[in-house]
Amino acid sequence: MTTMTDPPRESFRLSMLLYDSRYRSMTIQIIVLMGFMLGAAWLINNAVQNLAEAGKTFSFRFMSEPSGYDINQRLIDYSSRSTHARAAVVGILNTLLVALMGCIAATVLGVILGILRLSKNWMVSRLAAVYVEAMRNVPVLLWIVLTMAIMVEFMPAPREFRGEEPEARMYLFDSVAITNRGVYIPEPKFANGLGDIPVAISLRSEGCESYLEGGELADSCGLFQISLDLWLIIAVLLAGIFTAKLNVKRANRIQAATGERPNTLWVNLAVIILPTLAVLWYLGFYLDKPELKGFNFRGGIHMRNSLIALWLALSLYTAAFIAEIVRAGILAIPKGQSEAAAALGLRQGKIMRLVILPQAWRVIFPPLISQFLNLTKNSSLAIAVGYMDVTGTLGGITLNQTGREMETVLLLMLVYLVISLSISSVMNAYNRRNALKER
């Protein structure tokens, strides 16, 4: 029989916080944390004190007052009587618009360039290399300003389209006009459309009164309005695509059972396109062409040259980085893969499309996310060409007219933070789903 003796109980002494390695790391961490919090508290206190000294209060009440200024590009209804908050929303939507357009264009262009850089054709790969080096080694602001200058200086003014023998002509059956104020393209419209429905109606707003009583819908009703026509078309299109997928499944089944695959292409095209065309015909679809009336072109969609300059420059610039990412991703796939594919008799194009890119995609995707984030944040350079993004409305004119630097800049940072975090969380979720599952 052995007797168990408790190990001698050490009493806790204060010096152990410093000399006992079990506690030391914790002590250091707590001290660092306290120091950090003290620093932060001092900064905040300093700001509050200085604001008070300058006689300024910290308040967001100005956001609900009329902004008093107009914005040229607005995706939702807005006038100079709308609030500063609404001006900020208009700006946010403009930021998102250019970011989305930029991300799509940059990805398409970047993938093509990345593949071209690996081309065995000396000329092609050198040209792609020159493009990449030229674009990414010059600050994006300069590209934006340069594109804008080209638009303004070299494109014809609207008045040059006038007269019997105009100096400038429209393109594509007189439906597209490229001017130094932007590009006018035809706008899809519906002769007997279903109208719009307002979202987030506020009963207090004036615009909604007649609508709620069954009358006409004013533009100013609701937070924003959704086009029913668009939803109908999207629904029909999705239904068509779903049917086509069922058809493909059926073809797979038949192929598995009999070894012969029925032709799916024509059926699929028919179920996707025919119903959509029928809906378009029912809604009375037509294209509204821009026409020169008064000072400017009227009708159609006006893509302002600020939007085009920003969009082009951001996409061309980011595409150079994406091209490098794509090239690195493709090179990361072992050579054996393409050799094996070639041994199976696949052609170059098919090897790239079916074997290399699907695997490379997993390598490409994570750095691609950070390029999308960069592009979105770089869109704040819009102010250089007067594009009214959120930095231009909330962080520009609102800041200036109200003099609330602290509040507007904090809000602005919050907006970009939320946009960036949303993009990266969506992209990361997609990446997790597609990443190689290792067990």
Partner 1 sequence: MKKSVFLGALTIAGLAATASVASTLDDVKARGKLNCGVSTGLVGFAAPDANGRWNGFDVAVCRAVAAAVLGDSDAVNFVPTTGKTRFTALASGEVDMLARNTTWTFTRDVDLKFEFVGVNYYDGQGFMVPKSLGVSSAKELDGATVCIQTGTTTELNLADYFRSNNMSYEPVPIETNAEAQQQFLAGACDTLTTDASGLAATRAAFENPDDFVVLPEIISKEPLGPLVRHGDNQWGDIVRWVLNGLISAEELGITSANVDELAKGTNNPEINRMLGTEGNLGEMLGLDKEWLIRAIKVAGNYGEIFEANIGEKTPLGLSRGLNAQWTEGGLIYSPPFR
Binding residues for partner 1 (CB under 8 A): 35, 38, 42, 46, 49-50, 54-56, 68-72, 79-81, 152-153, 157, 159, 180-181, 293-296, 298, 305-306, 383-384, 386, 388, 392, 396-397, 399-403, 405
Least Å distance, CB 15 to partner 1, is 17
- At 68, phi and psi to the nearest 5? 85, -5
Q: How many residues does the chain have?
A: 439
Query: Looking at the DSSP assignment, which residues form a beta bridge with residue 320?
Result: none
Measuring CA to CA, which residue among 315, 358, 308 is closest to residue 113?
315
Tell me the C-alpha distance between 247 and 261, whole Å.
Answer: 12
Of 118 and 384, CB closest to partner 1: 384
Q: Tokens for 96?
A: 């998102």
Q: Does the CA dihedral 17-22-24-27 come out positive or negative?
A: negative
Of 41 and 421, CB closest to partner 1: 41
CB neighbourhood size of 270 (10 A): 14
Of 338 and 402, CB closest to partner 1: 402
Least Å distance, CB 401 to partner 1, is 7
- At 76, phi and psi to the nearest 5? -125, 165
Of 36 and 286, CB closest to partner 1: 36
Using CA atoms, how far residue 276 sits from 188, 241, 271, 279, in Å, is 14, 11, 9, 5
Q: Does the CA dihedral 413-414-419-425 come out positive or negative?
A: positive
Q: What is the DSSP string of 243-285?
A: HHHHHHHHHHHHHHHHS-PPP-HHHHHHHHHHHHHHHHHHHTE
Least Å distance, CB 17 to partner 1, is 15
Strands 196-199 and 224-227: antiparallel
Of 305 and 315, CB closest to partner 1: 305
- At 187, phi and psi to the nearest 5? -110, 130
Of 338 and 401, CB closest to partner 1: 401
Of 303 and 346, CB closest to partner 1: 303
Using CA atoms, how far residue 431 sits from 278, 352, 368, 425, in Å, is 38, 21, 11, 10
Contacts of 40 (CB under 8 A, 6+ apart): none
Of 70 and 219, CB closest to partner 1: 70
Of 54 and 257, CB closest to partner 1: 54
Measuring CA to CA, which residue among 208, 221, 248, 386 is closest to residue 308?
386
- At 249, phi and psi to the nearest 5? -60, -45
Q: Tokens for 14?
A: 């204060």
